[in-house]
Amino acid sequence: LTGGYPNSLKQLAEESLERFFPQTDPRLSRVSDAMKYSLFAPGKRFRPVLALAVVEALGKDPRIALPVACALEFIHTYSLIHDDLPAIDNDDLRRGRPTCHLKFGEDTAILAGDALYAEAFVLILTEQAKYTSPPMLIEVLKEVATATGIKGMVGGQVVDIASTGRAVDLATLEFIHNHKTGCLIRAAARCGAIVGEAEPEQVEAVTRYAEHLGLAFQIIDDILDVTGSVEMVGKTLGRDVDNRKTTFPGKMGVERSRSEAQAATDQALKALSGAGLNADVLFGLADFALRRAS
Ligand code: IPE
Ligand code: IPE
Ligand code: MG
Ligand code: MG
Ligand code: MG
């Protein structure tokens, strides 16, 4: 990881993922192994780190958000397992390893994703409940459920699939990116704000920050599919062209896409000003999202 990434928060998240991973009956070891295979493969842990960073920016101890932060990584991992399936992106490499369905079969991969999604809610209801009172816990649950449903991540995936092989306009491309990727990043920031007891104007500020950050994050994802190195990215490259996906570089070339990502990052940083946050760690994350090579 490049400079600016809060590695201490990443480490905190990774230790907690181990701790919060559900213990199961030995009869379930195949699906449990598939969940672990994908979850504990090397990822950036960007969504949990963002949730923790928002709590830190509010001057609170980031550890109060560890369960919801880990729940977001469970959900993100589910989304990657299902995104890689033959029926969706048909990918063979993820986080530097053969994809879950190649290793365990499509049946187990589908169920591992389903289980990770449900266990995310179990984790919030059992562990986050130790730090967060019921009214705020309900807010957290509402964020996570809404961000991942038909009006959120799944909606983005639906339009992504429907747009395959078609010329879509920029507004549709932004809709795809803001939903398939932006909504979960936005939820991470907002859950951090809720758990960290942010003032309403601080919730607004981190929400706007995360919306711009999410767009920048997915534009860079598109760019890395064209210009990245397989060792760094841990995915087979060039898949967006193979799959006839509509992407930023496909639409406007790599250079203009980079300018768009830079512009979104500038907007993300601007959104934080005047909200009374210790924003350094959030600046660092936005800088990382823009410059990342993995
Ligand atoms: C990849 O996410 C899929 C997107 C939504 C862009 P990340 O780039 O965060 O992947 P990991 O978690 O580090 O593997
Ligand atoms: C993935 O978008 C978004 C979700 C998994 C929800 P991509 O299909 O571009 O992500 P990668 O490139 O496979 O990681
Ligand atoms: Mg996809
Ligand atoms: Mg994909
Ligand atoms: Mg991609």
Q: Nearest-CA neighbor of 197 among 145, 133, 142, 144?
A: 133
Q: Nearest-CA neighbor of 184 among 231, 131, 138, 143?
A: 143
Distance 184 CA to ligand 4 centre (A): 15
Summarize the confidence of residues 108-125 as an average pLDDT: 98
CA dihedral 15, 269, 147, 44 (to 10 degrees): -30
Q: For residue range 156-215, what is the model confidence (pLDDT) as tens digits?
A: 999 999 999 999 999 999 999 999 999 999 999 999 999 999 999 999 999 999 999 999
Percent of the chain with pLDDT strictly greater than 90? 99
Percent of the chain with pLDDT strictly greater than 70? 99
Alpha helix (H) residue ranges in 149-199: 153-162, 170-177, 183-195
Residue nearest to atom 11 of ligand 1 (CA): 43
Question: What is the predicted pLDDT for the residue at 2?
Answer: 40
pTM comes to 0.98
Query: What atom in ligand 2 is closest to the CA of residue 218?
Result: 9
Report DSSP state, residue 166: S
Distance 52 CA to ligand 3 centre (A): 26
Question: What is the predicted pLDDT for the residue at 4?
Answer: 81
Question: What is the predicted pLDDT for the residue at 139?
Answer: 98
Count CB-CB contacts under 10 A for residue 254. Answer: 13
Report DSSP state, residue 4: T
CA distances from 24 to 38, 107, 168 (A): 17, 19, 45
Distance CA 56, CA 278 (A): 8
Distance 134 CA to ligand 3 centre (A): 35
Q: For residue range 233-262, what is the model confidence (pLDDT) as tens digits?
A: 999 999 999 999 999 999 999 999 999 999
Query: What atom in ligand 2 is closest to the CA of residue 180?
Result: 6
C-beta 127 within 6 A of ligand 2: no
Contact, 156 vs 177, CB < 8 A? yes
Question: What is the predicted pLDDT for the residue at 132?
Answer: 98
Distance 177 CA to ligand 3 centre (A): 10
Question: What is the predicted pLDDT for the residue at 1?
Answer: 38
